[in-house]
Amino acid sequence: MLRFIAGRLIAMVLTMWAVSFVAFAIIQLPPGDYLTTYVATLSANGDRVDPAAIEALRRQYGFGEPYIVQYWKWITGIVTRGDFGQSFEWKAPVTTLIWGRLGNSILLEGLAVIVMWLVALPIGIYAAVRKYSLGDYLATIGGFIGLAIPNFFFALILMYLAYIWFGTTMGGLFSPEFENARWSLPRLWDFLSHAWAPVLVLATAGTAELIRILRANLLDELKKPYVTTARAKGLPEWKVVLKYPVRLALNPLVSTIGWLLPALVSGSVIVSVVLNLPTAGPMLLRSLTTQDMYLAGAIILLLSVLTVIGTVISDILLAFIDPRIRYGSK
């Protein structure tokens, strides 16, 4: 088991290095750079542009250097000093800008994953055990609706209903008095009272998909001979279902963590813009628009690392659940 975990950790480190290289390459793909966008904005506003000043800024920020040189300076700063660079637009270190918003993103996405599992497990088991019942049909219809409605559209529907029914506007994660306060029990409660809407929006599609996956896997397991043998031995029905087929049906469900986190991260960007949430999504969108490469690269890198860590966690959980995986890796 230790060898299995060590192998996964080594693969994670190599993957994170490859992700950092690709993340830095992605923000270099659009033509021009931050100064190009900056000059275009000044010209559109009718301001005078001094070519000498722009050229001095270009040398200062190192825009004329080759891609490999820029990447090497960026990645060595991250590894040796934890320095993600300087944001051109905000004129501030990237680390001071992203940690608070990234923490909010991780909290929201973590809560969404917990809600997905808490809701999907009992509904998926019930839908499989009570196949073709009214509850199964309702779960199926709800699952298809959850998969069909985009997250941002669901957020717009919630905002409209909240305004029509309750006369309130949804948005943000904190009340004004708690926005810049230190974490405490009152601030945590205020966060939870605001976070239910984005968590519900983010968890809807994932919950629907997990229900369908668990139902399909469990239906396959319930038809196998070991289930018939367990019933013939007189085991209670709840024990027959929970101890054997559910455990095996969880294998594909656990493996979904690897792609569930990327889906949450990509979906949360648009949802955060719609609901005006202080997460990494709106800042990432703004940095990509202005070609603020160090800020955009840091956010893409950290969100990608979160995805890689989620994949490693799913691999380790699968090894604990299914002995065939950890023994087969030797």
- The length of the chain in residues reads 330
d(CA 327, CA 312): 17
- What pLDDT was estimated at residue 138? 92
Q: What is the mean pLDDT of residues 99-124?
A: 86
Tell me the average pLDDT of the chain: 82
Please check whether residue 155 lies inside any domain of the structure: yes
Name the more confident of 90 and 266.
90
Name the more confident of 125 and 259.
125
Please check whether residue 171 lies inside any domain of the structure: yes
Please check whether residue 55 lies inside any domain of the structure: no
Confidence label for 126 from pLDDT (cuts 50, 70 and 90): very high
Q: What is the pLDDT of residues 267-291, one digit of tens each?
A: 777 888 888 888 888 888 888 887 7
Please check whether residue 313 lies inside any domain of the structure: yes
Please check whether residue 13 lies inside any domain of the structure: no
Question: Any idea what the CATH number is for the domain that residue 144 is in?
Answer: 1.10.3720.10
For residue 111, what are the domain limits?
95-328
Please check whether residue 102 lies inside any domain of the structure: yes
- What pLDDT was estimated at residue 227? 87
Which pTM does this prediction carry? 0.78
Confidence label for 330 from pLDDT (cuts 50, 70 and 90): low
Please check whether residue 26 lies inside any domain of the structure: no
In the chain, the number of structural domains is 1
Is the pLDDT at 32 greater than 90? The verdict is no
Contact 325, 314 (CB under 8 A): no
Q: What is the mean pLDDT of residues 50-60?
A: 72
Q: What is the pLDDT of residues 288-316, one digit of tens each?
A: 887 788 888 888 888 778 778 878 887 78
Is the pLDDT at 30 greater than 80? The verdict is no
Name the more confident of 111 and 180.
111
Place of tokens 């405490």: 184
d(CA 4, CA 184): 39
Please check whether residue 323 lies inside any domain of the structure: yes
